[in-house]
Structure 1
Amino acid sequence: MIGFPYRVRMRYTLAQAEAFYWVARLGSFRAAADHLNLTQPTISLRVKELERIFGSALFDRASYKPIPTALAATILGDVERMLAQADYVELRAKGAMPARSMLRIGAAETFAIRILPDLLAQLACEREDLQVTVTVDLSTQLERMLLEHAIDIAFLADPRASERIRIIPLWEVEYVWVVAQSLKVKGDLATPEALAELALFTNGLPSPLHTTLLFWFGLRGIVPRRVNTCNTLPVIALLAGAGTGAALIPREMIEMFTGAPPLRVLDADPPVPNGNICAAWREGAPEANDCAYLTTVAQRLIRHRSGER
């Protein structure tokens, strides 16, 4: 008998992933079975097999309807993308779709709001062969995803230099302190001493925005008492607009928050260090030429936007 020195790992199937996805989306095993034209026991078995492979439950079955667990919520988006890609591969194999390149784009919120819509519109006109998926997240998360090959190109703030990562600066971002019109700040001047006792709103650590906030206070040897974090700039603006504290955000975002309460920009002493929005991708990767092309289009749009001001 031949012995194997390693353990064969059980892999899940698309059928199991599909069963899990539709139970989570439709809220019941019966609805998933009807949608997939299968029996309910078949759906239940496939989900149980998937749970056995993962070693953890995907649904809490204690109530009348299955409740997704934390694990299910974590992987649901990944499973959705995987199933969409599987459908795409099947259509390609059957000749139902023309050959297209797939480019996975990661974008920080500043880039996504200012440039991304025009960038994708330009892409649709110039490169019909290029299909994209977009992830909007904090710059630190995008940097990690790029290094882990989860995305192909990242448009992000202040990336760290890494081996074989090409970084192209796009534009400088001015970070400013903002408060509600109704909030009184001594002298209308943002100083570490004046803001230290206020509630502060910004992105979470280790984001460039949060790092800049702590660095700015550190210039005066002060540690702020209440730093509240949120992962979206529009909500941060809303929190500051409510009059309960101050927020550190990119200046260019203020004019885009037309639905938010009016904000007042404070002069800062010491000045807040600026950030840089950059494009970053892996040198030598198969999609490197597409990433360079996309960066060139972004630069063109940025120059056009700057000319409008």
Structure 2
Amino acid sequence: MMAINRIAFYHLETLLWIARLGTFAAAAERLNTSQPAISARVRELENHLGAALFRREGRAMALTPAGRELVRESEPLWARFQGVLMACGDIAGASGVIRIGAGEIAAASCLPGFVAELGRDLPHVSLEIDIALTADLIQQLASGHSDIAFAAGRIAHPMLRTAPIGSVDLLWLASPATVAEMDADRPPIWSLSNLSPLYRLMKDAIAASHLADCPLNLCNNVRAMMDFVVEGGGIGIFPRPMARQEMADRRLIPVPGAPTMPAIDFHAAIRAAESDPLVLAIFDRASRLELGGDKGA
């Protein structure tokens, strides 16, 4: 006879995170415990049920048919239980670790105010922020290694749900010394590399400008490009929020005659199958962000 009365909620939580992340080690990190503790919970659950829930496939743990059935039936129950707890209390009392992924531009444009607001309203929730390329953000989110992502450009993935949160201006900028010498010199133009979803946008804009014959330098770090340009290393195309201070100090100024760049659209994303009430509540907040209100320098 199954010892159902000995199954605790942490057993189901452990099972669901292993199923989502694929390894005991990843589940241990997510649940802030040790891998031996995770293994012990799985053994306890299997002993109580009298059935094996996982089988090892290389370094990953694959669910057995019994394990898949338990996960399928437990996920909605766990989500409802979490929702009941939050409804009975106050979301301000929610706790846990939320992992947020963001691209470099998104981190500068979206996150500062958003993270500060979360800190005020959800004081017991810990945040882990990972700055990465868009392709990596999508992979981390789809695999369950992050909970929510902010990225520039369109996020197209069948496992993800997205919400548009506005746009940010792109500006052609250079140092005053570089602008003064442009008639006599053809300075290099700095663009994000082809690893960025903005690469084609930037390359097309450069090709259509009067600066098309300038050398093109590529870099995958906006802040590094900005440092190069501030020091007189060429011309750059930068998001307004990241260049605001340099423009205020006149270390960077607009490039005369440069064509207008289309604004960057930003999206927030979570897994389409996400059921955790806290993640859903934070995504709801994210979906109400409205970027693009600062048109001035």
Decide which of 273, 285, 291 is 1:297's aligned counterpart: 285
Residues 269 and 171 of structure 1, relative CA distance in 2, 3 Å threshold: same
The Cα of 1:293 is off from its aligned counterpart by: 2.4
Q: Does 2:62 match 1:104?
A: no
Counterparts of 1:307 and 1:236, CA distance in 2: 23
Q: What residue is the counterpart of 1:4 in the other structure?
A: none
Q: What residue is the counterpart of 1:199 in the other structure?
A: 188
Counterparts of 2:189 and 2:266, CA distance in 1: 23
Counterparts of 1:292 and 1:283, CA distance in 2: 11
Q: Does 2:29 match 1:85?
A: yes
Would the aligned equivalents of 1:241 and 1:260 in 2 still touch at CA under 8 Å? no
Note the residue ranges of structure 1 that are not aligned, 5 or more in a row. 1-80, 189-193
For 1:110-149, list aligned pairs within 5 A: 110-149=105-144
Decide which of 276, 284, 290 is 2:273's aligned counterpart: 284
Q: What residue is the counterpart of 1:51 in the other structure?
A: none
Counterparts of 1:117 and 1:236, CA distance in 2: 21
Q: What residue is the counterpart of 2:69 in the other structure?
A: none
Q: What residue is the counterpart of 2:45 in the other structure?
A: none
Counterparts of 1:167 and 1:285, CA distance in 2: 12
The Cα of 1:241 is off from its aligned counterpart by: 1.1
Deviation string 1:148-186 (CA, Å, 9 cap, x unpaired) is 433221100013322132111112121111111111368
The Cα of 1:207 is off from its aligned counterpart by: 0.8
Letter in 1 for 2:201: T
CA RMSD of aligned residues (A): 4.1
The Cα of 1:243 is off from its aligned counterpart by: 1.3
Letter in 1 for 2:278: D
The Cα of 1:126 is off from its aligned counterpart by: 2.3
The Cα of 1:187 is off from its aligned counterpart by: 8.6
Deviation string 1:66-99 (CA, Å, 9 cap, x unpaired) is xxxxxxxxxxxxxxx9699389225xx8xxxx99
Would the aligned equivalents of 2:166 and 2:289 in 1 still touch at CA under 8 Å? no
Counterparts of 2:124 and 2:157, CA distance in 1: 30
What is the TM-score normalised by the length of structure 2? 0.59
Would the aligned equivalents of 2:155 and 2:267 in 1 still touch at CA under 8 Å? no
Residues 224 and 282 of structure 1, relative CA distance in 2, 3 Å threshold: farther
Deviation string 1:229-278 (CA, Å, 9 cap, x unpaired) is 33332221111111121111112221144898710112555432221111
Counterparts of 1:224 and 1:141, CA distance in 2: 33
Q: Does 2:157 match 1:162?
A: yes
The Cα of 1:202 is off from its aligned counterpart by: 2.7
What is the TM-score normalised by the length of structure 1? 0.57
Counterparts of 1:84 and 1:226, CA distance in 2: 49
Residues 156 and 162 of structure 1, relative CA distance in 2, 3 Å threshold: same
2:195 match: secondary structure: coil
Decide which of 271, 295, 300 is 2:260's aligned counterpart: 271
1:182 match: secondary structure: helix
Q: Does 2:160 match 1:172?
A: no
Q: What residue is the counterpart of 2:229 in the other structure?
A: 240
Letter in 2 for 1:141: D
Counterparts of 1:158 and 1:269, CA distance in 2: 22
Would the aligned equivalents of 2:196 and 2:220 in 1 still touch at CA under 8 Å? no
Percent of aligned positions that are identical: 22
Counterparts of 2:179 and 2:96, CA distance in 1: 54
Note the residue ranges of structure 2 that are not aligned, 5 or more in a row. 1-24, 38-92
Counterparts of 1:308 and 1:224, CA distance in 2: 30
Number of paired residues? 217
Q: What residue is the counterpart of 1:68 in the other structure?
A: none
Counterparts of 2:294 and 2:207, CA distance in 1: 36
Query: More relative contact order in 1 or in 2 (CA 8 Å, sep 6+)?
Result: 2
Letter in 2 for 1:137: A
Decide which of 208, 212, 219 is 1:230's aligned counterpart: 219
Residues 99 and 220 of structure 1, relative CA distance in 2, 3 Å threshold: closer
The Cα of 1:199 is off from its aligned counterpart by: 1.6
For 1:71-82, list aligned pairs within 5 A: none
